[in-house]
Amino acid sequence: MLRPDRCLAVALAAMLSGATFAAAEPAPFRYSAAITIGAAAPFVQLPLTPSVYAHTAQDELRDLRVVDARGTRAPFALLVPSSSLHTSEQVRKAVLYPLPARPSAAGVWSSPVDVVVDGDRISVKRHGPGESTPAGRPRESGGWLIDSGERRAGEAPPQQLRLRWSGPAEFTAAYRLESSDDLRQWRAAGSGQVMALQSQSGPLTQPVVSLAGGTGRFVRLLWAEPQAAPVIAGATVLVAERRRVAIDSARELAFAASSEPAGVRPLDAEAGRSIHFDLGGALPLVDVDLAFASGTHVAPLRLQGRARVDDPWRELGSGVFYRLERSGDVATSPAIALPVTVRFLRLVPDARAAPLAGVAARLVVHVALPTLVFAAQGEAPFRLLAGSADAPAGALPVAAVVPQLESERSRFGQGEVGAFVADEAVVRAAAAESRQAQLRPWLLWAVLIAGVAGLGALVWRLARSSAAPLPPA
């Protein structure tokens, strides 16, 4: 029979061994998918699908891995959809017409040209004979009428006029601008100054006339002091267009409605009136749209979302989706921006609107799915691993995988992710770990009870020893 102090030692050892259960290695990867490379290259890009999100066990795809046929890891990075601002400049020649001398205080500037409108086109007709080239015109004119040219559909308005002059060598001349689209209605368009100075390093000039955003096709440049103005020889118009170019742009996905699963939480009263969508994984959304199959529909909605079936619904926003039919034409609502990461979406109609349950409609979303880029080093074929709850993050910074991204991007190889399959050994190990986790509290309680019993026995023995009579001398 074990002595009580030995029982205590055994109990403490069992408690310590039980505490080591939590210090296990990271869980293995539960799923793997074959990577099919269609176009080989040193760097292969792999567009990720919702299925990848469905099989990861951590947020932000932390538990992804790329391995070769031997199981050796291949370095990879994630390219998140983004956009860059591109500016393009167009320069064209402007046509200048000298204005007559300044009118009296009660008079108006007379125009040297007329405008002829033919449909959507505007043509300019000059009064009297002669060319419109301003070279050689006297400086005594009150200013210039500048035709910046007809604007194409969708073209941005001109931002600048750049003047050319033939003299004098030094001057400074103030001006004010007026703008018009038809030579009849004029509006103020700002003021400024042009100048030319001589210096030891060469001439210093300021020939730029800035134009406001709403400037029309015709600009009237009026000198404050015509005698101080330069002899204008010509002008050019600068049109700058800024546009955002998507890089690894968001992808469009469509989903059919699905029944709302009950989960741990019971279905609430709004479930019966709402329309529910399962995106297959917690996806990073950009915007959402509801596409009705036919007919006229107007649906004021609240958008709710959650990442897991047992999470409570949270409010994400609201909006109105519609489809209107008029004499054969169909008008639809624009998408609603929704930058969130969710798997389940529920569209709840306003209490004063008709229920959506049973309405034929699809959810159309734009999703910022990243592209995985890996270095194709090692022995093919490659596989994508996922499904480890506590593995450290596997993706590297882009610069650590592709040193010259912009030059390499056009030479990336192309790959696809196949269907995910579960590793049976990992599944069995996970099931065993789950059973152990359920038994662990009972084992710890048993260890604690044994430890308390051992301590009680030790105290009892010590008490008996101290109470025993001393032997006679």
Average pLDDT on 67-96 reads: 83
Average of per-residue pLDDT across 462-473:
65
Cα–Cα distance measured from residue 72 to residue 65, given in angstroms and rounded to the nearest whole number: 10
Residues 165-193: pLDDT tens digits? Answer: 988 888 888 888 999 888 888 888 888 88
Angle, CA 249 vertex, CA 383 and CA 84 arms, to 5° = 125
Query: How much is the pLDDT for 6?
Result: 54
- For the segment(s) 88-244, the CATH number from 2.40.50, 2.30.30, 2.60.120, 1.10.760 is 2.60.120
Query: Mean pLDDT over residues 334-339, rounded?
Result: 90
Matching fold, domains 88-244 and 251-367: yes
- Range 298-325 average pLDDT: 90
The domain ranges of the chain are 4-23+428-460, 31-81+371-422, 88-244, 251-367
Which has more pLDDT, 6 or 42?
Answer: 42
Place of tokens 């007559």: 100
* Among 15, 18, 13, 8, residue whose Cα is nearest residue 439: 18
For residue 224, pLDDT over 80 is answered with yes
Q: Is the pLDDT of residue 363 over 90?
A: yes
Q: Which two tokens stand for residue 135?
A: 């070279």
Dig out the tokens for 375 from the structure.
Answer: 């270095």
Q: What is the pLDDT of residue 135?
A: 44
More confident residue, 413 or 159: 413
* Residue 221 pLDDT > 80: yes
Please give the average per-residue pLDDT across 317-324, as a whole number: 88
Q: What was the pLDDT predicted at 136?
A: 43
pLDDT single digits (tens) 374-400: 999 999 999 999 999 889 999 999 999
Q: Topology of 251-367 in CATH? A: Jelly Rolls (2.60.120)
Average pLDDT over residues 420-439: 69
CA distance 412 to 43: 5
C-alpha span between 99 and 71 (Å, rounded): 81
Binned at pLDDT 50, 70 and 90, residue 254 comes out as: very high
Residue 154 confidence (pLDDT) above 90: no
Residue labelled with tokens 């009150």: 142
Residue 12: per-residue pLDDT: 46
Query: Of 142 and 259, which is predicted with more confidence?
Result: 259
Lowest-pLDDT range of 109-113, 237-241, 419-423: 109-113
Average pLDDT, the chain: 80
- pLDDT at position 133: 44
Distance of CA 406 to the CA centre of its chain: 19
- What pLDDT does 138 receive? 46
Higher pLDDT, 255 or 18: 255
Local structure of residue 134 (DSSP, 8 states): -
Q: For residue range 115-140, what is the model confidence (pLDDT) as tens digits?
A: 554 544 555 555 554 444 444 444 44
Task: Give dist(CA 124, CA 217) in Å, integer.
Answer: 11
Q: 278 or 472: whose pLDDT is higher?
A: 278
What span, in angstroms and rounded, lies between the C-alpha atoms of 159 and 174? Answer: 19
- Angstrom distance (rounded) from CA 221 to CA 230: 13
Query: What amino acid occupies position 415?
Result: G
pLDDT confidence band for 14 (50 / 70 / 90): very low
- pLDDT mean over 314-340: 87
Q: Is the pLDDT of residue 370 over 80?
A: yes
For residue 104, CA distances in Å to 109, 155, 176, 399 come to: 9, 38, 17, 69
Q: How confident is the model at residue 21 (pLDDT cuts 50, 70, 90)?
A: very low
pLDDT for 435 equals 60
| pLDDT attached to residue 448 | 81
> Are the C-beta atoms of residues 89 and 242 closer than 8 Å to each other?
no
Q: What is the mean pLDDT of residues 20-25?
A: 46
Decide which of 202 and 76 is more confident: 76
* Band (91; pLDDT cuts 50, 70, 90): confident
Q: Which residues on adjacent β-strands are paired with residue 87?
A: 242
Q: Is the pLDDT of residue 43 over 90?
A: yes
89: how many CB neighbours lie within 10 A of its CB? 10
Q: Left if phi > 0, otherwise alpha if psi is -120 to 50, otherwise beta: which for 387?
A: left
